Amino acid sequence: MSLQLQIAVISPFTLANIGLKQLLCDFFAIGTIGVYSNTDDFLSARPEQYDLFFVTADTFFTHSDFFLPRKNKTVILSDREFVSEEKKVLERRLYIYDDTESIIEKLERILNSIDKRSADDTHEELSPREIEVLQLVAQGYINKEIADKLNISFNTVLTHRKNITTKLGIKTVSGLSFYAMMNGYVTTKDIE
């Protein structure tokens, strides 16, 4: 595979940075790979030049104003496996404790899909009212509070929630909250 991509690896873990860069260089013909152990250095080095970002979850959420609009070009370096609901939201992630073969396979899938539409885009779009309900669910409101806040009936809230879970394929509140955050419907400041 030969791709002329500019890739940024942003992680405070030097060993992970070196290892990921080495895997990308050894198994894929990549353009340029910039490695940053400090996010401030990355943000001051023309970050818009990069086609793909490998970041830790902490970095992603701390600098969500930069990474959230670029979530389709961002791969999360994770130290834990995601439950199935979260996995639907974050298709582009690398579990750092996987064996080399698994990581290479995932990297190949990620690099092959870089120009394709993300899995999130294949979902049916949420209506504006469903987005409002989703935002309130992510902020921790219960159905009755949502109904009162939006001046709609309790049954209408239930219908919207059913439609949201059907369209997204996510059933849990934590999964919906994660989806809302990853898609820019809420920020970490909105969630207390």
Q: Please compute the mean of the pLDDT values over residues 14-32 and round it to a whole number.
A: 91
Residue 2 has a pLDDT of 55
- Residue 125 tokens read as 């779009």
Assign a CATH topology to domain 6-121.
Rossmann fold (3.40.50)
- The DSSP 8-state label assigned to residue 125 in this structure reads P
9-13, 33-37, 174-178: the lowest-pLDDT one = 174-178
Q: By C-alpha distance, which of 53, 55, 6, 52 is closest to 31? A: 6
The domain spans of the chain are 6-121, 123-182
Is the pTM higher than 0.85? no
pLDDT band at 118; cut points 50, 70, 90: very low
Residue 164 has a pLDDT of 93
> CA-to-CA distance for 26 and 1, rounded, in angstroms?
11
Question: Higher-confidence residue: 121 or 1?
Answer: 1
Residue 120 has a pLDDT of 40
Task: Share the mean pLDDT of the chain.
Answer: 85
Q: Which pLDDT tens digit goes with each residue over 51-89?
A: 999 999 899 888 988 888 788 889 999 887 655 544 444
pLDDT band at 110; cut points 50, 70, 90: confident
- Residue 176 tokens read as 């919906």
Write down the CATH number for the domain with range 123-182. 1.10.10.10
Q: Provide the edge-to-edge strand list for the sheet that holds 32-36.
A: 32-36, 6-10, 52-56, 74-78, 93-95
Q: Does residue 111 carry a pLDDT above 80?
A: yes
